[in-house]
Structure 1
Amino acid sequence: MREPFVLGAADGARWVVHPPQDPYGDGYVYTAETELHEAGLTATTIAKIDGAYAGISTTLSGFVAGLAAAWQGWDGTRTWESMERELTLDARHDGRGHVSLGVTLRAPGPDWDDTAWSARAVFVLEAGEQMTGLAADLTHLLRA
Protein backbone atom coordinates (compact mmCIF):
# COMPACT_ATOMS: atom_id res chain seq x y z
CA MET A 1 0.00 0.00 0.00
CA ARG A 2 1.24 3.45 -0.90
CA GLU A 3 1.98 5.97 1.82
CA PRO A 4 -0.08 9.17 1.97
CA PHE A 5 1.24 12.43 0.55
CA VAL A 6 2.08 14.94 3.30
CA LEU A 7 2.84 18.63 2.82
CA GLY A 8 4.13 20.16 6.02
CA ALA A 9 4.99 23.71 7.04
CA ALA A 10 7.46 25.05 9.57
CA ASP A 11 4.58 26.16 11.82
CA GLY A 12 3.33 22.57 12.09
CA ALA A 13 0.49 22.83 9.58
CA ARG A 14 0.03 19.70 7.46
CA TRP A 15 -2.03 18.71 4.42
CA VAL A 16 -2.41 14.95 3.99
CA VAL A 17 -3.79 13.14 0.92
CA HIS A 18 -4.35 9.40 1.22
CA PRO A 19 -4.07 7.03 -1.76
CA PRO A 20 -7.13 7.24 -4.00
CA GLN A 21 -9.84 4.59 -4.10
CA ASP A 22 -12.06 3.57 -7.01
CA PRO A 23 -15.43 3.19 -5.22
CA TYR A 24 -17.36 2.18 -8.35
CA GLY A 25 -14.65 -0.01 -9.88
CA ASP A 26 -14.88 1.67 -13.28
CA GLY A 27 -11.93 4.10 -13.20
CA TYR A 28 -14.04 7.19 -13.89
CA VAL A 29 -14.21 8.67 -10.40
CA TYR A 30 -11.70 8.22 -7.61
CA THR A 31 -12.10 9.31 -4.01
CA ALA A 32 -9.28 10.40 -1.76
CA GLU A 33 -9.42 11.03 1.95
CA THR A 34 -7.67 14.30 2.73
CA GLU A 35 -6.87 16.07 5.98
CA LEU A 36 -5.76 19.48 7.23
CA HIS A 37 -3.98 19.92 10.55
CA GLU A 38 -3.21 23.41 11.85
CA ALA A 39 -3.11 25.14 15.25
CA GLY A 40 -5.15 22.46 17.03
CA LEU A 41 -7.62 22.04 14.17
CA THR A 42 -8.06 18.77 12.32
CA ALA A 43 -10.42 18.59 9.35
CA THR A 44 -11.01 15.49 7.24
CA THR A 45 -13.08 14.96 4.11
CA ILE A 46 -13.44 12.57 1.20
CA ALA A 47 -12.84 14.34 -2.12
CA LYS A 48 -14.16 13.05 -5.44
CA ILE A 49 -11.39 13.51 -7.97
CA ASP A 50 -11.23 12.70 -11.67
CA GLY A 51 -10.37 9.15 -12.58
CA ALA A 52 -8.07 7.48 -15.05
CA TYR A 53 -9.89 8.83 -18.11
CA ALA A 54 -9.70 12.53 -17.22
CA GLY A 55 -7.51 14.86 -19.23
CA ILE A 56 -4.33 15.78 -17.34
CA SER A 57 -5.22 19.48 -17.37
CA THR A 58 -8.29 18.87 -15.18
CA THR A 59 -6.67 16.61 -12.57
CA LEU A 60 -5.18 17.56 -9.22
CA SER A 61 -1.75 16.30 -10.22
CA GLY A 62 -2.00 18.14 -13.56
CA PHE A 63 -2.91 21.38 -11.78
CA VAL A 64 0.06 21.16 -9.41
CA ALA A 65 2.40 20.13 -12.25
CA GLY A 66 1.23 23.23 -14.14
CA LEU A 67 2.10 25.41 -11.15
CA ALA A 68 5.56 23.85 -10.96
CA ALA A 69 6.12 24.36 -14.70
CA ALA A 70 5.23 28.05 -14.33
CA TRP A 71 7.91 28.57 -11.68
CA GLN A 72 8.79 32.01 -13.11
CA GLY A 73 5.36 33.28 -12.08
CA TRP A 74 1.86 34.18 -13.21
CA ASP A 75 -0.66 36.92 -12.58
CA GLY A 76 -3.65 36.47 -10.31
CA THR A 77 -4.88 33.29 -8.69
CA ARG A 78 -5.02 29.80 -10.19
CA THR A 79 -7.68 27.49 -8.75
CA TRP A 80 -8.51 23.77 -8.87
CA GLU A 81 -11.61 22.13 -7.36
CA SER A 82 -12.56 18.51 -6.83
CA MET A 83 -15.75 17.30 -8.50
CA GLU A 84 -18.04 18.36 -5.64
CA ARG A 85 -15.76 21.06 -4.16
CA GLU A 86 -14.73 19.04 -1.09
CA LEU A 87 -11.12 20.00 -1.89
CA THR A 88 -10.06 23.31 -3.39
CA LEU A 89 -6.54 24.55 -4.10
CA ASP A 90 -5.71 28.13 -4.94
CA ALA A 91 -2.25 29.37 -5.80
CA ARG A 92 -0.66 32.80 -6.04
CA HIS A 93 2.90 33.54 -7.18
CA ASP A 94 4.56 36.49 -5.45
CA GLY A 95 6.88 37.27 -8.39
CA ARG A 96 9.92 36.69 -6.15
CA GLY A 97 10.13 32.92 -6.22
CA HIS A 98 7.42 31.79 -3.81
CA VAL A 99 3.95 30.29 -4.22
CA SER A 100 1.20 30.61 -1.62
CA LEU A 101 -0.84 27.42 -1.91
CA GLY A 102 -4.21 27.59 -0.17
CA VAL A 103 -5.87 24.28 0.68
CA THR A 104 -9.57 24.32 1.59
CA LEU A 105 -11.52 21.28 2.74
CA ARG A 106 -15.32 21.15 2.88
CA ALA A 107 -17.82 18.61 4.14
CA PRO A 108 -18.16 15.65 1.74
CA GLY A 109 -21.00 15.69 -0.76
CA PRO A 110 -22.51 18.44 -2.84
CA ASP A 111 -22.66 21.89 -1.23
CA TRP A 112 -23.87 24.21 -3.93
CA ASP A 113 -25.11 26.86 -1.49
CA ASP A 114 -21.90 27.06 0.61
CA THR A 115 -23.55 26.12 3.92
CA ALA A 116 -21.27 23.20 4.90
CA TRP A 117 -18.25 23.51 7.16
CA SER A 118 -14.88 24.40 5.66
CA ALA A 119 -11.28 24.59 6.85
CA ARG A 120 -8.36 26.35 5.15
CA ALA A 121 -4.59 26.47 5.49
CA VAL A 122 -2.01 28.28 3.37
CA PHE A 123 1.43 26.87 2.62
CA VAL A 124 4.27 28.99 1.25
CA LEU A 125 6.52 27.03 -1.11
CA GLU A 126 9.61 27.79 -3.15
CA ALA A 127 8.42 28.10 -6.77
CA GLY A 128 11.12 25.88 -8.28
CA GLU A 129 12.35 22.73 -6.56
CA GLN A 130 9.77 22.61 -3.79
CA MET A 131 6.82 22.91 -6.21
CA THR A 132 8.45 20.39 -8.57
CA GLY A 133 8.83 17.92 -5.70
CA LEU A 134 5.24 18.47 -4.59
CA ALA A 135 4.00 17.83 -8.14
CA ALA A 136 6.09 14.65 -8.46
CA ASP A 137 4.93 13.30 -5.09
CA LEU A 138 1.24 13.98 -5.81
CA THR A 139 1.50 12.48 -9.30
CA HIS A 140 3.09 9.34 -7.86
CA LEU A 141 0.32 9.00 -5.25
CA LEU A 142 -2.61 9.71 -7.57
CA ARG A 143 -1.65 7.66 -10.61
CA ALA A 144 -3.87 4.65 -11.10
Structure 2
Amino acid sequence: MSEPFVLQGQGDQLWLVHPPQDPYGDGFVYTIATELHELGMAASTVAKVDDLHASLGTTLPGFLERLAADWEGWGGTRTWTSMERELVLDARHDGRGRVSLGVTLRAPGPDWDDTAWSARSVFVLEAGEEMTRLAGDLTHFLRT
Protein backbone atom coordinates (compact mmCIF):
# COMPACT_ATOMS: atom_id res chain seq x y z
CA MET A 1 0.00 0.00 0.00
CA SER A 2 1.22 3.50 -0.83
CA GLU A 3 2.12 6.04 1.79
CA PRO A 4 -0.60 8.61 2.53
CA PHE A 5 -0.44 12.25 1.53
CA VAL A 6 0.31 14.32 4.65
CA LEU A 7 -0.43 17.98 5.34
CA GLN A 8 1.46 19.01 8.47
CA GLY A 9 0.26 22.03 10.39
CA GLN A 10 1.54 23.48 13.63
CA GLY A 11 2.77 21.07 16.31
CA ASP A 12 1.24 17.63 15.93
CA GLN A 13 -1.52 18.79 13.56
CA LEU A 14 -1.84 16.37 10.61
CA TRP A 15 -4.28 15.68 7.79
CA LEU A 16 -3.63 12.35 6.10
CA VAL A 17 -5.20 11.31 2.81
CA HIS A 18 -4.80 7.70 1.73
CA PRO A 19 -4.69 6.62 -1.93
CA PRO A 20 -8.09 6.64 -3.62
CA GLN A 21 -9.88 3.37 -4.25
CA ASP A 22 -12.39 2.56 -7.01
CA PRO A 23 -14.78 0.26 -5.11
CA TYR A 24 -17.18 -0.24 -8.03
CA GLY A 25 -14.54 -0.42 -10.76
CA ASP A 26 -16.41 2.16 -12.84
CA GLY A 27 -14.05 5.15 -12.58
CA PHE A 28 -16.88 7.45 -11.52
CA VAL A 29 -16.99 7.11 -7.73
CA TYR A 30 -13.87 6.78 -5.59
CA THR A 31 -13.40 6.40 -1.87
CA ILE A 32 -10.67 8.15 0.08
CA ALA A 33 -9.72 7.13 3.62
CA THR A 34 -8.68 10.24 5.50
CA GLU A 35 -7.53 11.11 9.03
CA LEU A 36 -7.11 14.15 11.27
CA HIS A 37 -4.74 14.33 14.23
CA GLU A 38 -4.33 17.28 16.59
CA LEU A 39 -3.66 17.75 20.32
CA GLY A 40 -4.54 14.16 21.20
CA MET A 41 -7.55 14.02 18.89
CA ALA A 42 -7.63 11.36 16.20
CA ALA A 43 -10.48 10.94 13.74
CA SER A 44 -10.80 8.97 10.54
CA THR A 45 -13.44 8.37 7.91
CA VAL A 46 -13.89 7.13 4.37
CA ALA A 47 -15.27 9.72 1.93
CA LYS A 48 -16.99 9.09 -1.39
CA VAL A 49 -15.80 11.51 -4.07
CA ASP A 50 -16.63 12.19 -7.72
CA ASP A 51 -14.35 11.19 -10.58
CA LEU A 52 -10.91 12.49 -9.61
CA HIS A 53 -9.79 12.83 -13.23
CA ALA A 54 -12.59 15.13 -14.37
CA SER A 55 -11.74 18.79 -14.82
CA LEU A 56 -15.08 19.86 -13.38
CA GLY A 57 -15.20 22.41 -10.59
CA THR A 58 -16.90 19.87 -8.33
CA THR A 59 -13.80 17.74 -7.79
CA LEU A 60 -11.42 18.01 -4.85
CA PRO A 61 -8.42 18.66 -7.15
CA GLY A 62 -10.42 21.36 -8.97
CA PHE A 63 -11.35 23.05 -5.68
CA LEU A 64 -7.73 23.14 -4.51
CA GLU A 65 -6.47 24.36 -7.90
CA ARG A 66 -8.98 27.27 -7.84
CA LEU A 67 -7.83 28.26 -4.35
CA ALA A 68 -4.22 28.31 -5.51
CA ALA A 69 -5.08 30.27 -8.67
CA ASP A 70 -6.88 32.93 -6.59
CA TRP A 71 -3.87 33.53 -4.33
CA GLU A 72 -4.58 37.28 -4.27
CA GLY A 73 -7.75 36.64 -2.31
CA TRP A 74 -11.51 36.26 -2.36
CA GLY A 75 -14.39 37.28 -0.13
CA GLY A 76 -16.23 34.93 2.17
CA THR A 77 -15.80 31.20 2.54
CA ARG A 78 -15.35 28.66 -0.25
CA THR A 79 -16.47 25.12 0.47
CA TRP A 80 -16.00 21.70 -1.10
CA THR A 81 -18.01 18.70 0.11
CA SER A 82 -17.64 14.99 -0.63
CA MET A 83 -20.66 13.13 -2.00
CA GLU A 84 -22.08 12.17 1.40
CA ARG A 85 -20.45 14.94 3.48
CA GLU A 86 -17.86 12.70 5.17
CA LEU A 87 -15.14 15.17 4.14
CA VAL A 88 -15.68 18.94 3.95
CA LEU A 89 -13.05 21.58 3.17
CA ASP A 90 -13.68 25.26 3.77
CA ALA A 91 -11.26 28.03 2.88
CA ARG A 92 -11.02 31.69 3.83
CA HIS A 93 -8.48 34.20 2.59
CA ASP A 94 -7.49 36.84 5.15
CA GLY A 95 -6.56 39.48 2.55
CA ARG A 96 -2.98 39.53 3.89
CA GLY A 97 -1.58 36.45 2.16
CA ARG A 98 -2.88 33.62 4.36
CA VAL A 99 -5.51 30.94 3.73
CA SER A 100 -7.27 29.17 6.59
CA LEU A 101 -8.15 25.70 5.31
CA GLY A 102 -10.66 23.91 7.51
CA VAL A 103 -10.85 20.13 7.24
CA THR A 104 -13.94 18.46 8.70
CA LEU A 105 -14.41 14.70 8.93
CA ARG A 106 -17.74 13.04 9.66
CA ALA A 107 -18.84 9.46 10.22
CA PRO A 108 -18.92 7.46 6.96
CA GLY A 109 -22.24 7.19 5.13
CA PRO A 110 -25.10 9.60 4.69
CA ASP A 111 -25.90 11.91 7.60
CA TRP A 112 -28.83 13.94 6.38
CA ASP A 113 -29.91 15.07 9.86
CA ASP A 114 -26.45 16.10 11.21
CA THR A 115 -26.45 13.62 14.11
CA ALA A 116 -23.17 11.81 13.34
CA TRP A 117 -19.84 12.69 14.98
CA SER A 118 -17.54 15.23 13.35
CA ALA A 119 -13.99 16.47 13.89
CA ARG A 120 -12.47 19.67 12.50
CA SER A 121 -9.00 21.15 12.26
CA VAL A 122 -7.87 24.38 10.60
CA PHE A 123 -4.55 24.65 8.74
CA VAL A 124 -3.07 28.08 8.00
CA LEU A 125 -1.22 28.25 4.68
CA GLU A 126 0.61 30.95 2.77
CA ALA A 127 -1.71 31.88 -0.11
CA GLY A 128 0.94 31.81 -2.84
CA GLU A 129 3.60 29.11 -3.01
CA GLU A 130 2.41 27.00 -0.08
CA MET A 131 -1.17 26.81 -1.36
CA THR A 132 0.06 26.14 -4.91
CA ARG A 133 2.32 23.33 -3.65
CA LEU A 134 -0.54 21.78 -1.64
CA ALA A 135 -2.89 21.91 -4.63
CA GLY A 136 -0.31 20.44 -7.00
CA ASP A 137 0.95 17.73 -4.65
CA LEU A 138 -2.50 16.55 -3.52
CA THR A 139 -3.89 16.68 -7.06
CA HIS A 140 -0.96 14.61 -8.33
CA PHE A 141 -1.38 12.14 -5.42
CA LEU A 142 -5.11 11.67 -6.05
CA ARG A 143 -4.82 11.30 -9.80
CA THR A 144 -1.98 8.75 -9.94
Q: State TM-score, norm by structure 2.
A: 0.96
Instruction: Structure 1: state its 5+ residue gaps.
Output: none
SS in 2 for 1:26: coil
Percent identity, please: 72
Q: Deviations over 1:52-86 (max 9, x none)?
A: 56443111011011000000000000000000000
- Report the AA paired with residue 59 of structure 1: T
The residue number in structure 2 matching 1:102 is 102
Residue 138 and residue 79 in structure 1: after superposition, are their counterparts in 2 closer, same or farther (change >3 A)?
same
Q: What CA distance in whole angstroms lies between the structure 2 residues aligned with 1:53 and 1:10?
A: 31
Give the secondary structure class of the aligned counterpart of 1:67.
Answer: helix
Alpha carbons 1:2, 1:141 under 8 Å: kept: no
Q: Is the 8 A contact 2:52 2:60 kept in 1?
A: no
Amino acid at match of 2:87: L
Task: Give 1:88's aligned residue.
Answer: 88
**Correspondence 1:55-134 to 2 at 5 A:** 55-134=55-134
Scaled by the length of structure 1, what TM-score is found?
0.96
The letter of the residue matching 1:47 is A
CA distance in 2 between counterparts of 1:124 and 1:52 reads 25
SS in 2 for 1:85: coil
Moved more, 82-91 or 49-58: 49-58
Question: Which residue type is aligned with residue 80 of structure 2?
Answer: W
8 Å Cα contact 1:12/1:38 also seen in 2: yes
Contact map agreement 1:29 1:49 (CA 8 A) in 2: yes
Tell me, which stretches of 5 or more residues in structure 2 are unaligned? none
- Contact residue 97 and residue 127 of structure 1 kept, 8 A: yes
When the two chains are superposed, the root-mean-square deviation of aligned CA atoms in Å is: 1.2
* Helix, strand or coil at the partner of 2:57: helix
